[in-house]
A and B are shown apart, each in its own frame.
Chain A
Amino acid sequence: MKTVFAPTSGMTPVDTSYCPGCSHGIAHRIIMECLEERGALGRAIGVVPIGCAINAHHFMNVDMCESTHGRAPAIAAGIRRVHPDKLVFTYQGDGDLASIGAAEIVHAAHRGEKFTTFFINNAIYGMTGGQMAPTTLIGQRATTAVDGRTVEQAGMPLRVCEMLATIDMAVFVERVMLTNPAQVRRAKAAVHKALDIQEARKGFTFVEFLSACPTNWGYAPVDALKWVEEKMAAYYPVKNFRTVEL
């Protein structure tokens, strides 16, 4: 009997605290698979945010550090500077990175800090119960926008990849989505590329995952994935914004 696919040793056996169908689980798995394939589980350090992924240090089988809200890039920058031989990453949601942590991520990119940020964009605040986030789409309902977000009241959703791609030292910026097996393979390739560039110490690397939040959106998990493909990908184009030759 030959193993074709087995759960990665980068994930602990602990059951995740995520809701059924949440894309966090897929994102966790592909990041950990990439680290395992590189033989880097023993020299990776992750920094996790406030948000649904606050418990990620229970699930990811690498050394991890918990950060204050939005400040993961500042902590990761320090860790990477004193441990130049380690692979350092932050794992942040949109409520953490795009609102309270917007200054930290912009300046970490601007300084060209040599770590990788994995940004989970599900267009809503998940952990606190579905409030409007900076990334919530126009017309999308949230507990703080019960009739849907309007331009008049809340402006336009923030496109983080496009913003960071204007910064010279953000050398790798790519947006992927986790909606079908082909896209998951593409996402994994982007994670590998970002880690390659980090190891070559070229600059700041950033991967955004368009993800589903079935519970707070009020959709069944499979319908939530369709919503990502139809609605989110229309506003947040899935593509590579910047890369660098190695």
Chain B
Amino acid sequence: MKKRFKLEFNRDKCKGCEICVSFCPKKLLALDKEVNSKGYHPACITDQDACIGCQSCALMCPDCCISIYELEEGE
């Protein structure tokens, strides 16, 4: 069965640098239209189901904003 992943962003820590957006091999990340408490447009994921869990975004995030979870069956 295809592995499924969940990507979580710490919205208020994000500074909207767009590095994660540029390194996603599936081009799933984008900057939100809303701003966070710092006034930056934080990164968000546009298609959660298409994430392949490669960790490229999390490895490049300078602000430790990204957590990745592997979903089990039924979750």
Contacts and interface: CB of A to CB of B under 8 A. Distances in A.
B58 A8 contact: no
B23 A180 contact: yes
A29 B13 CA distance: 14
A26 B58 CA distance: 10
Query: On chain A, which size bracket covers the interface?
Result: 20 to 34
B70 A6 contact: no
B40 A1 contact: no
Contacts of A180: 23, 60
B75 A15 contact: no
Nearest to B60: A181
Contacts of B15: 19-21
A26 B62 contact: yes
A4 B68 contact: yes
Given A2-B70, A5-B58, A221 B6 contact: no
A19 B63 CA distance: 10
Contact of B40 (A16, A20, A185): A20
Contact of A15 (B5, B19, B23, B63): B63
Nearest to B55: A5
Contacts of A1: 6, 69-72, 75
A181 B56 contact: yes
A7 B60 CA distance: 12
Interface of B: 5-6, 10, 13, 15-19, 22-23, 38, 40, 53-56, 58-72, 75
Interface of A: 1-8, 11, 15-16, 18-26, 29, 180-181, 184-185, 214, 220-222, 225
18 contacts: A5-B55, A5-B66, A6-B67, A6-B68, A7-B64, A7-B66, A7-B67, A8-B64, A20-B17, A21-B18, A24-B62, A25-B61, A25-B63, A26-B60, A26-B61, A26-B62, A29-B62, A180-B23
